[in-house]
Amino acid sequence: MVGLFGPGAGGYAGRDRGVVGAIVAREQAGAGSGTMSENRLKHFGWGREGEGMTPAEETAAVERYRRLFGVASFAEVAPPPLADLQFAAPRLRPPPALAGICSSEPYDRAAHAHGKSFRDYARGLQGDYTTAPDIVAYPRDEVEIAALIDWAGAAGAAVIPFGAGSSVVGGVEAATDGTSCRGAVTIDLRRLDRVVEIDRVSRAARIEAGVFGPALEAQLRPHGLTLRHFPQSFEYSTLGGWIATRSGGHFATLYTHIDDFVESLRMITPQGVIETRRLPGSGAGPSPDRLLIGSEGILGIITEAWMRLQDRPRFRAGGAVRFKDFLTAARALRAIAQAGLYPANCRILDPQEAANTGAGDGSAAIMVLAFESADHPLDAWVARALECCGDHGGTTDRPGMHDAHREGAAELWRTAFIRMPYARERMVQRGIIADTFETAITWERFEDFHNRVKSATETAIREVTGRPGQVTCRFTHVYPDGPAPYFSFHALGRHGELEPQWRAIKTAAGDALIAGGGTITHHHAVGRDHRPWYDRQRPELFAAALRAAKHSLDPQGLLNPGVLIDP
Ligand X SMILES: Cc1cc2nc3c(=O)[nH]c(=O)nc-3n(C[C@H](O)[C@H](O)[C@H](O)COP(=O)(O)OP(=O)(O)OC[C@H]3O[C@@H](n4cnc5c(N)ncnc54)[C@H](O)[C@@H]3O)c2cc1C
Query: Residue numbers of the site for ligand X (CB under 6 A)?
Result: 115-116, 160-168, 171-172, 189, 209, 231-233, 237-238, 240-242, 244-245, 247-248, 296-297, 301-302, 421, 523-525, 527, 560, 563
Sign of the alpha-carbon torsion through 412, 418, 424, 425 = negative
How far apart, in whole angstroms, are the C-alpha atoms of residue 504 and residue 522? 21
Rounded to whole angstroms, the Cα distance separating 307 from 71 reads 50
Q: Cβ-closest residue to ligand X?
A: 241
Give me the least distance between CB of 185 and ligand X, in Å please.
12
From the number of C-beta atoms within 10 Å of its C-beta (0-12, 13-18, 19+), residue 78 rates as exposed
| Closest distance of CB 224 from ligand X, Å | 25
Comparing CA positions, the residue from 270, 269, 161, 278 lying closest to residue 209 is 161
Distance, in Å, from the CA atom of 371 to the CA atom of 259, rounded to the nearest integer, reads 21
CA dist 389 → 43, 80, 326, 397 (Å): 45, 51, 13, 13
Beta-bridge partner residues of 208: 304
Shortest Å distance, C-beta 527 to ligand X? 6
Q: Which is nearer to ligand X, 240 or 493 (CB)?
A: 240
Q: By C-beta, is 164 or 225 nearer to ligand X?
A: 164
The pair phi, psi for residue 361, each rounded to 5°, is -110, 10
Q: Closer CB to ligand X, residue 231 or residue 351? A: 231
Residue 500 C-beta: closest distance to ligand X, Å: 21
Amino acid in the structure at residue 458: E
Least Å distance, CB 386 to ligand X, is: 27
List all residues 6 or more positions away from 500 whose beta carbon is below 8 Å from its beta carbon. Answer: none
Nearer to ligand X, 464 or 559 (CB): 559
Please, what is the minimum distance in Å from the beta carbon of residue 132 to ligand X? 15
Q: Which residues contact 279 (CB under 8 A, 6 or more apart)?
A: 263, 264
Q: CA-CA distance, 484 to 505, in Å (whole number)?
A: 20
* Distance of closest approach, residue 419 Cβ to ligand X, in angstroms: 10
Residue 3 or 231 having the CB closest to ligand X: 231
From the CB of 115, what's the least distance to ligand X, in Å? 5
Nearer to ligand X, 343 or 394 (CB): 343
Among 341, 344, 351, CA closest to 318: 344
Backbone angles phi, psi at 484, to 5 degrees: -110, 90
Nearer to ligand X, 245 or 345 (CB): 245
Q: Are 78 and 108 in contact (CB under 8 A)?
A: no
Nearer to ligand X, 162 or 502 (CB): 162
